[in-house]
A and B are shown apart, each in its own frame.
Chain A
């Protein structure tokens, strides 16, 4: 039997990537707005070899329309992460800090106004189509 020269691996499955957390919140938004507002998570690479992930809002009633709600930049190890949302830029060094900042952005009056504006347009178009 050859010797095992590999290190002991600790599974990281319990770690949730920032993109996964956005996808979870996207699913909640769809449910909370009865499908009027949807959120999509779009991932790309950034200039520094890390990830750039966008959270885009839309509606099935508004065709190709997308509102760029927030943008994350993070390395393959997930942290440190930069979160850009409207006029705000914040940084997180771990999952707990990111959760706190994401909570703050999604729960903000800015997000509420944007989602309500999309809902209002979607309802108006839905009514006009009916």
Chain B
């Protein structure tokens, strides 16, 4: 199993907390949005308890998320697509299959109109599609602070991320086809984060915001998400996806359950595992 941790740390020096999370959950790949610790200090903290040292894996011009990993550097391919808000590169773990890793920190809804956020999701979907065609690999996992909820138009639009809530629909309908003449097809994503709203699986989201006070506002949001293409569905177990509320020593939430932005971040970290081992039936 390959373990991923994504966290928007809101420029806070949370290296000790990150290191405890990494040790506790045996994380292989750490992705930090709005990082608040210089690389040297973070690696020093991460490597205190790790036999396999963590290294930073740089992007070319994308700076909104930092990637650290204890996998060998050669596991990560060079970035194939970047924009201010996302980057896409390949990852092949030792003795494993190659996947496309898309990492994103999309613009804040505080500074963007919903229609602009929908366009950003469309651009990201388009670039993922082009990257998949270029490297001839559609085993894509998208991870990040998407700054929109799973029910946002940009997430559900077929020209956007086209990400639905259940894996059976993805298995059955991907790719979705429209038009009789000049047919167009749109690849889908499975978005397991739909299962993390409300009281069904605590906590009720990854981010709580109640200061803008619009009349329609869910307050709890699931902005931090992982999305998977059909080819990765049987390598992902929903039970291996968690929104973390503690590093084992320090709670990341306040007594009422909201993220503790004073002690940690206003976002909660996301942890998930993928089985990327090569299987006997897997030729690619």
Contacts and interface: CB of A to CB of B under 8 A. Distances in A.
Given A47-B159, A71-B123, A117 B61 contact: yes
Given A47-B159, A84-B119, A89-B116, A66 B80 contact: yes
Interface in A4-52: 47
Contact of B78 (A47, A65, A86, A114): A65
A75 B61 CA distance: 31
Contact of B111 (A67, A87, A118): A87
Interface residues on A, range: 10 to 19
A64 interface: yes
Q: Interface residues of B toward A: which range? A: 20 to 34
Main secondary structure of the interface of A (DSSP, over half): mixed
B82 interface: yes
Interface string A90-130: 00000000000000000000100110011001000000000
B129 interface: no
Interface in A74-90: 84, 86-87, 89
A2 interface: no
Contacts of B119: 84
Interface string B77-88: 011111111000
A114 B127 contact: no
Given A67-B83, A87-B107, A87-B111, A118 B78 contact: no
Interface of A: 47, 62-68, 71, 84, 86-87, 89, 110, 113-114, 117-118, 121
B159 A68 contact: no
A67 B111 CA distance: 23
Contacts, number: 46
Contacts of B61: 67, 113-114, 117-118
Contacts of B134: 64
Interface in B75-124: 78-85, 107, 111-112, 116, 119, 123
Nearest to A63: B78
B41 interface: no
Closest 10 CB pairs of A and B: A117-B61, A86-B84, A68-B83, A114-B61, A67-B82, A121-B60, A64-B134, A64-B80, A67-B61, A87-B107
B49 interface: no
Contacts of A114: 61
A64 B78 CA distance: 9
Contacts of A62: 60, 78
A121 B82 CA distance: 14
A121 B112 CA distance: 31
B219 interface: no
Contacts of B250: none
A65 B60 contact: yes
Which of A47, A71, A87, A118 is packed against the most chain B CB atoms within 10 Å? A87
A45 to B, nearest CB: 11
B231 interface: no
A110 to B, nearest CB: 7
A118 B60 CA distance: 6
Contacts of A65: 60, 78-82
Contacts of A68: 81-83, 123, 127
Interface in B39-91: 60-61, 78-85
B234 to A, nearest CB: 28
Nearest to B134: A64
Nearest to B108: A87
A80 B156 CA distance: 28
20 contacts: A47-B159, A62-B60, A62-B78, A64-B80, A64-B134, A64-B135, A65-B60, A65-B79, A66-B80, A66-B82, A67-B83, A68-B82, A68-B127, A86-B83, A87-B84, A87-B107, A87-B112, A113-B61, A117-B61, A121-B60
